[in-house]
Chain A
Amino acid sequence: MVSPFYILIVGLGLGFLLGMTGKKQAALTNMLTLFAMAFFTGVSLHWIQGLYTGAFQPSMVFSAGFKPPFSISLFLGMHEAVISLMINVLGLISVWYFREFLLRDSKPLGAVLLVMFMGLNMLVFTRDLFNIFVFLEITAISMSGIILMNDNHHAHAAGFKYLLASSLISAFYLLGAVLIYFSTGSLYLDDILTMKSAFAPMALIAVFLMVIAIVIELKPFPANGWALDVYEAAHPGIGAIVSGAVTTTMLFLLNKILVLGSDKIYLLTASVGALTFLFSNWMGLQQKNPNRLLGYSSIGQVGLVLAILGMKPVLGDGVEMIGFGVLLTHFLAKAGLFWLSGTVKGSSLESWAILRNNPVILTIFGIFVFALSAFPPFPSFYAKWELIIGLSGTGNYLLIALILLGSLFEVIYLFRWFGIVVKAESEESDSGIEWGKAAGPALFALALLAGGYFARNYLSAPDMMNFIPLVAVVVLWVLDFMPAWAKNTLLLAMVGIYSWFYLPQYSDYQLIFGIIFMAGAVLTLLYGYSEKGKRPGFYPLTAMMFAGLIMLVEATTLFGFFFAWEVMTAGSYFLILRGKKSQPHALSYMLFSFGGALLILAGFAMAHAVTGLWTLDALVMDSPLSPVIFIMLTLGFLTKTAAIGLHIWLPGAHSEAEADVSPMVSGILLKAGVYGLIVLFMRMGTQYIGGVDLMVILSWVGILSALIGNLMAAMQEDMKRLLAYSSVGQLGYILFGLSMMSNLGWLLAISGAIMHFLYKTMLFQAVGGVYSRTHDRMMYRMGGLIFRMPMTFIVVLIGIIALSGVPPLSGFAGKWLSFNAVLQKEYYLQGALAVLAGAVAFLYLFRLIHAPFLGQLKDNLRKVKEASLWILLPQYLVIAVIMAVSTVPGLLLERIGKLLAKTFPDGGLLWVDSKIPFGARTAISEYGYWNGTYVMLVTIGIFGILLIVQLLMQRNNKKVGQFNIVYSGERPSTPETTHHAYNFYAHYSKALGFLMVPLAERFWTWISERVHDIAHQLRQLYNGNGQVYLMHIMFFFLVCYFLINGGF
């Protein structure tokens, strides 16, 4: 084994030698520095390999030939080796990254860099408390040197503040180290540890001093103003070093000396960390400078690790692995982001838009953002899961809430940024990224993926997931250079093959939703053939969303479910973001989804804590906590189904998405929320809180969603927004059905889910077809398209008849079931509102067909052609299905009913044979009966007879021109003024406008403004005055001291 001293020898020896070199030897100096860092890295690798294979054991190395406590000793174990590898790799890349600076300057800053990394390594190894002080100082002083890499007065001011702060911090540490010596007669950590149980009060003060000093080094709120200035002013490469290497070292160090602390010290650390995580991310909301933003994010992430480490007495040694997961993600992502920042010119978030000119760089950026936000498959995702599971097992709900809120804030600014990068206007077209500088981020992005792969091994939950769907994502990613049709075919083939092998294995609800998702994939992908070009990125993302959906259906464990949920969220977010103007909507989609996912995570964690099970059956429980868990999970799923109040993301997201994405996210994706609710309701059943039946509340939520969604839809001018609001309404019905917790209610909900899938897929595609020809979404600007796009018109016609629930088409089933279920359940008021909502649906549906298709054809649309075959094909497939289930409703309803009988044995429909031979059966409920086949036949019969009569009666029937109408003797000539379509239901909004006040939107806007206001108020703390920062540190120190003084 190579002794750790060689790091010191090489680092310091070379450092000393380089001290005398000048500008002429810059190239040599630079090369030697690089060589030394490579040596460090090599040694670390050697250790890891040796320790892993058992070639050597973790061991203690003594200096000066004497045993501790009389000399200084170093310890090298696997943990030390891994941390040193992280530091050294970062150091190696940093030296490479800085080579221009190092070559340019006359003074060999490379030597400072080298000595600094040597010092960090030694901090990791050393077991002597005073030695830590010395190397802390070496780190601090070399930091103050390399801050100068950016030679401007900002950097100088920041460096000065940093030095001031660090001298105060080191004074705390020094006093601590000295006091521990006087109290225990030793400076050797392991020696002191043996005396922990007999610590004198002085030793307790000493431990407190040392711990708090390291904690302040880790930039806790509010004693961290100095660090933020450094992040902002210093070269981003320095940011990478501070945020990555220094922080990692300090955390390791803290973990090393924290063992001396009492439970109270741990608790203090945990609280400080959690508050830092919360407040730092909160203040990050107001940041416009990318480096400062990254600074806030770094501080937040480190706070999280602090919080995790502080939970050790509660959660046990497992926290180290959790903390490491978060740390590793932070380390890789933050360093990578800082490096990227160094390649971007300009100091606004918008200037990062340049990244999107290079898909590889953009991917790397995306990986970092998603990793920081703890999405799968990154290590932080597993860490988050383990952490929340662990915390809820010990009942630390406050901490969970703090952490979850903090991570929500973090996601807000990260994704706002991501959206800007992907979407913002950018003047420069050249990507301007040097590949040399991108190598580091690329390497770290790969390491993140690898880290995620290995992190799975540390999962405490059983991991029985089928990752095959994710293969499609990877394959399509690799093949992204191919033309769109090829990728489309490939993905279709993959969906087909997967369905062929896996769908037969599903049962019950799995099967229903599996079919929805897979059939949905096929229907929406067929549309994709109408797209030309490569559509870069589209197919892997689509595959990701569908992979998430199918994994969701397959999930049997809490973890699997959550994993799939997050994959799906990520995929769909990207898809929505692809729309031209969708950035703000994609962001709000992400925020609601993420908030919902956090609630789901917390709910799962609590459920697991109550029952101790890892499968979804953990939700079957009877505990005082069940209503709370129920509420959290329901809210989580409702964000996806866009229940009223949580719906504000939906209209924008669905309408601004690309033409074939809209049906995916509307017709298909929303069903994931429904599936979640089914999974939940099946297991938890009806819950009460204070004697109030939560299902009754949900039924009101559902029915209000239906009513208000429909009302809003009726008021839209934009046809995609109209359909989007219509989804809010439809999903409201589904929720209403589910909330009834009866056979008929669920039959309503599930058949409704299937129907909504069919209608919305079809209608969004039809509307997409219209858009593909008219390039307009404003309905009043169209008109008369029936003459140009009759095939599309027929689709919309069938769609609206079906959706409005008019017999004989399948929508009537929903109405009939709904009424029966309402009567059965005695939900009369909700039932009446459901009827009103159903009637209102007429309004928007009529508008949808009238405004674009009927009325006066506009001049600019006279040459419009029918939508292309690939757009029409899936629509007509859906029509075929709709006609089939309309004619023989039992095909669908009877089968679902059989399934539901397992859950709700009573109150289902009775199916009896009728007089008609071909299997048409009459459905009999408790109250009424209905035979869809008869209705269809009678209607067609009457219609047919009348049509024949008409055809026979008419004489000389001829078509007239567009303006040949009775118009007070005038002959109108401008279709714009003759087409009544704008503000179609003015009278309606006059009568019921009070129901359409965007209360939810105002509420969320209000919340958002307050949150940002508070962030702004909070950050006033950091007024830029170094002296004030010192006072913050002192204040923080004293508050901690007096808080804990109650008895260490």
Chain B
Amino acid sequence: MGEKIVYAIIAVFIMLNYGFLVNGVIRRIYARVGRRIGVPIYQMYIDLFKSWGLRTNIRHGTMFYLGPIFRLTGGIGLFLFMPAVYGLALFTNFSFSGDLLLLLSFQFFGTLGMALGASESGHPNSAIGVTRGLAQMTAVEVPFILAIMAVAIQYDSLSLTEIIAQQQGGFLNWTLFTNPLATAAALLAMLGAMMRAPFDVVLAPQEIPIGPPTEYHSNYMVFLQSNRAIFPLAKSILFMNLFFGGATTIVMMLVKTFILLMWPVLVGVSFPRFRVEQSIRWFLRVPMIIGLLGIAYVHFFLK
């Protein structure tokens, strides 16, 4: 048990730093697309230390204080309940605690805590941001779950380890190829979960320039930024495990997650923004239908 905890701490440390760097890269890509030079790749570290260095930090109340902690717990927990690298003890994490469903549910732990914390600040835009996020999240869930269901049916398992194991032996065994419909549905759903255009109206309140993360500062901000580093990565790992054959080495894991993270970035830089009700309707149409087709495909052709 003790070694597991040590491994977990190491894994989290690696992933956090990797996440900071990736976020830097993404910001640069965005800048380049917008004909700017952009920040250095290590900008995240600079921000982090700057925030850390602030001398005062204020709180609106207990929930406000705990919000970022909830948030980061959600991000790290999501990562830790997954096997990140197949067959590698260092990155197996605490995946024995629960299966795929634990992950799906646990991603809301942070969301909920953050929402509560932001709400306590009393800022109306915090509440607006939260309602947008929650509303959109409900719609994103549906195609995503359909895809997951297709995978679970296909591999007869909800255990990630088991799912990865069944995808080994050549990239043609990846879900991407054995069930492209489910993969497509999941990738479309991923767009909604990654807070990038066209589904980033959730974050709009912070752009003006207020909103949940704006009320937060100093070391609260450190937690939030850390979460922004690790949470998308954790999600990418989940997608990688489900649809892209998982990873057998750390490098493969890093490469695959990077590529996966680029997918919403690519979409994000090319499309304008949906309003919430538009994105809800969109998710409940195209991706959902694809997801249903994916299940039908699995149910009728693969079983």
Assess A/B contact in the complex (Cβ within 8 A).
yes
- Residue in B5, B106, B156 with the greatest tally of chain A CB atoms within 10 Å: B106
Is the CB of A819 closer than 8 A to any CB of chain B?
yes
**Could you say which of B70, B124, B158 contacts A928, with CB atoms under 8 Å apart?**
B158
Per-position contact with B for A845-865: 1 when CB-CB < 8 Å, else 0?
Answer: 010011000111000000000
Is the CB of B87 closer than 8 A to any CB of chain A?
no
Cβ–Cβ contact A960 & B158, under 8 A: no
Among residues of B, the one whose C-beta sits closest to the C-beta of A849 is B116
Shortest Cβ gap from B223 to chain A (Å): 7
Given the interface contacts A930-B99, A930-B102, A938-B80, does A786 sit within 8 Å of B149 by beta carbon? no
Residues in A912-927 with C-beta less than 8 Å from chain B: 915, 922, 925-927
Among residues of A, the one whose C-beta sits closest to the C-beta of B149 is A828
Shortest Cβ gap from A814 to chain B (Å): 10
Of B21-29, B59-67, B248-256, the one touching chain A: B59-67
Contacts of B295 in A (CB 8 A): 828
Is the CB of B45 closer than 8 A to any CB of chain A?
no
Contacts of A968 in B (CB 8 A): 210
Is the CB of B215 closer than 8 A to any CB of chain A?
yes
Per-position contact with A for B150-187: 1 when CB-CB < 8 Å, else 0?
Answer: 00110011110000000000000000000000000000
Per-position contact with B for A799-827: 1 when CB-CB < 8 Å, else 0?
Answer: 01100111100001001100110110010
Is the CB of A468 closer than 8 A to any CB of chain B?
no
Is the CB of A895 closer than 8 A to any CB of chain B?
no
The complex places the Cα of A823 from the Cα of B291 at a distance, in Å, of 15
Cβ–Cβ contact B158 & A931, under 8 A: no
Among residues of B, the one whose C-beta sits closest to the C-beta of A962 is B122
Contacts of B89 in A (CB 8 A): none
Task: Please provide the 5 A-B residue pairs with the shortest distance between their CB atoms, ordered closest to farther.
Answer: A928-B158, A928-B99, A934-B97, A839-B138, A991-B277
Of A355-363, A579-587, A687-695, A976-984, the one touching chain B: A976-984
Per-position contact with B for A951-982: 1 when CB-CB < 8 Å, else 0?
Answer: 00111111110111111100000010011110
The complex places the Cα of A804 from the Cα of B141 at a distance, in Å, of 14
Contacts A927-B158, A950-B68 aside, 4 further interface pairs with beta carbons under 8 A come to A816-B102, A816-B105, A835-B142, A950-B65
**Could you say which of B55, B72, B109 contacts A956, with CB atoms under 8 Å apart?**
B55
Is the CB of A929 closer than 8 A to any CB of chain B?
yes
The complex places the Cα of A947 from the Cα of B137 at a distance, in Å, of 27
Is the CB of A379 closer than 8 A to any CB of chain B?
no
The complex places the Cα of A991 from the Cα of B157 at a distance, in Å, of 34
Given the interface contacts A931-B97, A943-B69, A953-B219, does A823 sit within 8 Å of B149 by beta carbon? yes
Is the CB of B276 closer than 8 A to any CB of chain A?
yes
Contacts of B278 in A (CB 8 A): 991
Cβ–Cβ contact A992 & B280, under 8 A: yes
Cβ–Cβ contact A854 & B157, under 8 A: no
Is the CB of B81 closer than 8 A to any CB of chain A?
yes
Is the CB of A225 closer than 8 A to any CB of chain B?
no
Residues in B37-69 with C-beta less than 8 Å from chain A: 52, 55-63, 65-66, 68-69
**13 A/B residue pairs, CB under 8 Å, sorted by A:** A786-B120, A806-B112, A807-B102, A836-B142, A846-B131, A846-B134, A934-B94, A946-B72, A950-B219, A965-B60, A987-B277, A988-B135, A988-B138
Contacts of B81 in A (CB 8 A): 935, 938
Cβ–Cβ contact A832 & B145, under 8 A: yes
Among residues of A, the one whose C-beta sits closest to the C-beta of B123 is A965
Cβ–Cβ contact A955 & B94, under 8 A: no
The complex places the Cα of A124 from the Cα of B56 at a distance, in Å, of 98
The complex places the Cα of A935 from the Cα of B93 at a distance, in Å, of 12
Is the CB of B196 closer than 8 A to any CB of chain A?
no
Contacts of B288 in A (CB 8 A): 832
Is the CB of B101 closer than 8 A to any CB of chain A?
yes
Contacts of A823 in B (CB 8 A): 149, 152-153, 158
Given the interface contacts A797-B116, A839-B141, A957-B59, does A819 sit within 8 Å of B123 by beta carbon? no
Is the CB of B119 closer than 8 A to any CB of chain A?
yes
Given the interface contacts A815-B105, A979-B122, does A931 sit within 8 Å of B98 by beta carbon? yes
Contacts of B138 in A (CB 8 A): 836, 839-840, 842-843, 988
Is the CB of A1022 closer than 8 A to any CB of chain B?
no
**Could you say which of A835, A946, A981 contacts B141, with CB atoms under 8 Å apart?**
A835
Shortest Cβ gap from B220 to chain A (Å): 8
The complex places the Cα of A832 from the Cα of B292 at a distance, in Å, of 9
Contacts of A804 in B (CB 8 A): 108, 112
Residues in B130-144 with C-beta less than 8 Å from chain A: 130-132, 134-135, 137-139, 141-142
Cβ–Cβ contact A807 & B106, under 8 A: yes
Contacts of B115 in A (CB 8 A): 846, 850
**Could you say which of A826, A928, A958 contacts B159, with CB atoms under 8 Å apart?**
A928
Shortest Cβ gap from A877 to chain B (Å): 23
The complex places the Cα of A635 from the Cα of B81 at a distance, in Å, of 43
Cβ–Cβ contact A927 & B105, under 8 A: no
Is the CB of A897 closer than 8 A to any CB of chain B?
no
Shortest Cβ gap from B176 to chain A (Å): 21
Cβ–Cβ contact B280 & A954, under 8 A: no
Shortest Cβ gap from A983 to chain B (Å): 10
Contacts of A903 in B (CB 8 A): none
The complex places the Cα of A615 from the Cα of B125 at a distance, in Å, of 61
- Residue in A801, A931, A978, A980 with the greatest tally of chain B CB atoms within 10 Å: A980
Cβ–Cβ contact A988 & B69, under 8 A: no
Cβ–Cβ contact A980 & B109, under 8 A: no
Cβ–Cβ contact B120 & A987, under 8 A: no
The complex places the Cα of A806 from the Cα of B101 at a distance, in Å, of 11
Interfacial residues, chain B to chain A (CB-CB below 8 A): 1, 5, 52, 55-63, 65-66, 68-70, 72-73, 76-77, 80-81, 94, 96-102, 105-106, 108-109, 112, 115-116, 119-125, 127-128, 130-132, 134-135, 137-139, 141-142, 145-146, 149, 152-153, 156-159, 210, 214-215, 218-219, 222-223, 275-278, 280-281, 284, 288, 291-292, 295, 299
Shortest Cβ gap from A811 to chain B (Å): 9
Is the CB of A831 closer than 8 A to any CB of chain B?
yes
Shortest Cβ gap from B183 to chain A (Å): 17
Contacts of A850 in B (CB 8 A): 115-116, 119, 127, 130
Contacts of A790 in B (CB 8 A): 62
Is the CB of A63 closer than 8 A to any CB of chain B?
no
The complex places the Cα of A152 from the Cα of B276 at a distance, in Å, of 71
Among residues of A, the one whose C-beta sits closest to the C-beta of B56 is A956
Cβ–Cβ contact B69 & A929, under 8 A: no
The complex places the Cα of A251 from the Cα of B280 at a distance, in Å, of 67
Is the CB of A108 closer than 8 A to any CB of chain B?
no
Among residues of B, the one whose C-beta sits closest to the C-beta of A794 is B62
Cβ–Cβ contact B102 & A935, under 8 A: yes
Contacts of A987 in B (CB 8 A): 131-132, 135, 275-277, 280
Shortest Cβ gap from B163 to chain A (Å): 10
The complex places the Cα of A988 from the Cα of B73 at a distance, in Å, of 28
Contacts of B59 in A (CB 8 A): 957-960
Among residues of B, the one whose C-beta sits closest to the C-beta of A850 is B119
**Could you say which of B52, B124, B291 contacts A953, with CB atoms under 8 Å apart?**
B52
Cβ–Cβ contact A956 & B123, under 8 A: no
Shortest Cβ gap from A774 to chain B (Å): 18
**Could you say which of B5, B98, B135 contacts A807, with CB atoms under 8 Å apart?**
B98
Is the CB of A990 closer than 8 A to any CB of chain B?
yes
Shortest Cβ gap from A833 to chain B (Å): 8
Given the interface contacts A806-B106, A928-B101, A930-B101, does A966 sit within 8 Å of B130 by beta carbon? no
Is the CB of A25 closer than 8 A to any CB of chain B?
no
Contacts of B52 in A (CB 8 A): 953
Shortest Cβ gap from A481 to chain B (Å): 47
Cβ–Cβ contact A942 & B142, under 8 A: no
Is the CB of A939 closer than 8 A to any CB of chain B?
yes
Cβ–Cβ contact A826 & B219, under 8 A: no
The complex places the Cα of A398 from the Cα of B106 at a distance, in Å, of 55
Is the CB of A784 closer than 8 A to any CB of chain B?
yes
**Could you say which of A820, A836, A941, A962 contacts B158, with CB atoms under 8 Å apart?**
A820
**Could you say which of B98, B112, B131 contacts A985, with CB atoms under 8 Å apart?**
B131
The complex places the Cα of A928 from the Cα of B156 at a distance, in Å, of 9
Is the CB of A787 closer than 8 A to any CB of chain B?
yes
Among residues of A, the one whose C-beta sits closest to the C-beta of B61 is A786
The complex places the Cα of A987 from the Cα of B129 at a distance, in Å, of 12
